[in-house]
Amino acid sequence: MRLMQKSKKEKDWGFDVRDIDAKVRPQDDFYHYANGTWMKKNPIPPQESHWGSFIMLRYDTEKKLRTLVTKVQKMKNLKTGSSEQMVRDFYNSGLDMKQRNAAGLAPLKPWLERIGKIKDVPSLVSTFAHLEKIGGSGPWGLMVDQDMKNSEKYIVHIGQSGLGLPDRDYYLKNDPESMRVRTAYEKHLEAMFALIGKSKTEAAKARVTVMSIETALAKISMSKEDRRDVDKTYHKISVPALAKLARGIDWKSYFKIIGADGIREVVVMQTAFLKAVSEMLRKVSVEDWKIYLEWHLVGGSASYLSARLEKQNFAFYGTVLSGVKEMKPAWRRALSAVNGNLGEALGKLYVDAYFGPEAKKRIVEIVNDLFTAYEARIKNLDWMSAATKKKAIKKLYEMNRKFGYPDTWKSYRGLVIRFDDYFGNAVRSSLLEHARVMRRLKKPVDRSEWFMTPQTVNAYCSFGLNDIVFPAAILQPPFFSKDADDALNYGGIGTVIGHEITHGFDDQGSKFDGKGNRKTWWTKEDRARFDKKAKVLVNQFNQYKVADGLKVNGQLTLGENIADLHRL
């Protein structure tokens, strides 16, 4: 049920019984009983794809961030390189539509030229590497993360990527919804190619090329259900073995450009995909790859360029794909870019203005209680053996808890942010972030790191770090207030905390031990009983209808469903 703030005094907020639809019997459909009237009174706003307490609080937080940024905009004599200067100029560069329109495609020029110079597979692969550093999309992606089987070490991971649509199914399925999206995507490709100066015939031809490459990539991609399985996505191999698996690629020079010079091992997340991609590099002509890269460069940069490109991009990804009717106002779009690129610089300003130490004290007490309750629940399970219970409780108490904001803020030192270069600001931010991530390879694992900014209304559980993290922005009404009655806090943020703890024991989280290593700590019999119970849940969710002809994918959503129920 949604909680509501009735007055300025947070003490007074609580359940609003006016949201209830008394015509629905709670024992038939509790969701519509509890929320029915609220849902009727609150249609989804035209600028959103969905609506509810999470999104409402996100919107509210954006307004607070806007107040902060507006204050910063008025500041005089800001030191170049200070958080305030970077936030102000990034934001202003996004708002300056006149300048962005005047610049047109000019900001992309050096990148388009680089693509234009590709003449063979080696120069194609080195361009993949350069684009990867700015967050661009080649057929595979690279990240540096903990080694799942040695959680004290970072290692390079290579994973499948390269699709313009969110999943391989859109290319391969022929149901009405996949066909609708695919047809609209083809039109979108043509429109984007036309916007970068191709003739109608050239644009149509380029569309065919992109669809052919992306469909081929879709066919060799791992399914989204399998991608969730940590065991199916872990193949640690040496660099010479990688060269044998994905032939014809000069991996040493690729790693050198990317900033991973001299590495000896990598984790390949989808071996079959990478092998097949290396074959595609030989089969598909270099000229076709160039068109493919051109599309990914322009598509990935559209929201930082002219109004025409941004609108066309929204028409497909916003409206066709997500059902959003209207583009968000300029301030929300620019703010989202600042959040994405300078997250912790803005986050520090947010925390200073809106997050106090008293909130942290109260939340720590609540979390302690939840751990005690969770321990009692583990002890009471009728299907888990005493030996596994002991290990589960050990893991539970090894779980690190993070609240509000990180102890050390990310440094943006050296980053150049200009008031008149929106795209360039994004590129330089990506390069800085890429370099930061690559430096992990030379360092021990940083267990204090955060993967969400403090101004994010969300929470997460990391299997590798074995921690649960609650950013400042979720620690506010309707989820939490330091002044609220206990019942409200346990019903609000308590639910979120229980959800995140449970992730550590869900179908994937339970494969990791308290140190974050992929390790079987269950007895065989307990694991079999767990899997049997999980299967019941998969089948249950497979029955739920979401829309016409569309049911929940029980296997894909298993982790979330286990976490929502807080236990098996």
Residues forming contacts to Zn ion in the complex (CB under 5 A) are 560, 563
What is the smallest separation between the CB atom of 140 and Zn ion, expressed in angstroms?
A: 27
What is the smallest separation between the CB atom of 469 and Zn ion, expressed in angstroms?
A: 12
What is the smallest separation between the CB atom of 231 and Zn ion, expressed in angstroms?
A: 20
In the bound complex, which residue of the shown chain has the CB atom lying closest to Zn ion?
563
Of the two residues 220 and 452, which places its CB atom closer to Zn ion in the complex?
Answer: 452
What is the smallest separation between the CB atom of 395 and Zn ion, expressed in angstroms?
A: 18
Of the two residues 84 and 500, which places its CB atom closer to Zn ion in the complex?
Answer: 500
Of the two residues 125 and 468, which places its CB atom closer to Zn ion in the complex?
Answer: 468
Of the two residues 126 and 462, which places its CB atom closer to Zn ion in the complex?
Answer: 462
DSSP state of 64: H
Of the two residues 94 and 494, which places its CB atom closer to Zn ion in the complex?
Answer: 494
In three-state secondary structure terms, 462 is: strand
What type of residue sits at position 407? D
Of 433, 412, 341, the closest CA to residue 143 belongs to 433
Of the two residues 266 and 469, which places its CB atom closer to Zn ion in the complex?
Answer: 469
CA distance 358 to 481: 10
Q: What is the DSSP string of 223-245?
A: PHHHHT-TTTT-EEEEHHHHHHH
Of the two residues 259 and 494, which places its CB atom closer to Zn ion in the complex?
Answer: 494
What is the smallest separation between the CB atom of 258 and Zn ion, expressed in angstroms?
A: 31
What is the smallest separation between the CB atom of 479 and Zn ion, expressed in angstroms?
A: 14
Q: How many CB atoms lie within 10 A of CB 515?
A: 14
What is the separation, in whole angstroms, between the first and last Cα of the chain? 22
Q: Is the dihedral of CA 152, 158, 161, 167 positive or negative?
A: negative
Of the two residues 291 and 537, which places its CB atom closer to Zn ion in the complex?
Answer: 537
β-bridge mates for residue 236, sequence order: 267
Q: Are 305 and 312 in contact (CB under 8 A)?
A: no
β-bridge mates for residue 147, sequence order: 150
DSSP state of 329: P
In total, the chain counts a number of residues equal to 568
What is the smallest separation between the CB atom of 387 and Zn ion, expressed in angstroms?
A: 28
What is the smallest separation between the CB atom of 503 and Zn ion, expressed in angstroms?
A: 6
Joined tokens for residue 20: 């209830």
β-bridge mates for residue 471, sequence order: 404
Q: Is the dihedral of CA 155, 411, 501, 379 positive or negative?
A: positive
Q: Are 149 and 518 in contact (CB under 8 A)?
A: yes
What is the smallest separation between the CB atom of 504 and Zn ion, expressed in angstroms?
A: 11
What is the smallest separation between the CB atom of 558 and Zn ion, expressed in angstroms?
A: 11
Of the two residues 504 and 514, which places its CB atom closer to Zn ion in the complex?
Answer: 504
Joined tokens for residue 263: 């590495």
Q: Which residues contact 28 (CB under 8 A, 6 or more apart)?
A: none
What is the smallest separation between the CB atom of 496 and Zn ion, expressed in angstroms?
A: 9
What is the smallest separation between the CB atom of 565 and Zn ion, expressed in angstroms?
A: 11
Of the two residues 145 and 560, which places its CB atom closer to Zn ion in the complex?
Answer: 560
Angle (CA) 63 66 69, round 5°: 160
Q: At what angle do helices 357-380 and 386-398 cross, to 10 degrees?
A: 170
Instruction: Find the Cα–Cα–Cα–Cα dihedral 156, 238, 252, 432, rounded to 10°.
Output: 10
Of the two residues 229 and 560, which places its CB atom closer to Zn ion in the complex?
Answer: 560
Of the two residues 16 and 560, which places its CB atom closer to Zn ion in the complex?
Answer: 560
What is the smallest separation between the CB atom of 95 and Zn ion, expressed in angstroms?
A: 34
> How far apart, in Å, are the Cα atoms of 122 and each of 125, 163, 368?
5, 22, 55
Q: Is the dihedral of CA 131, 134, 135, 140 positive or negative?
A: positive
Of 490, 464, 442, 492, the closest CA to residue 150 belongs to 464
Of the two residues 432 and 563, which places its CB atom closer to Zn ion in the complex?
Answer: 563
What are φ and ψ of residue 121, in 5° steps?
Answer: -60, -45
Joined tokens for residue 28: 């038939």
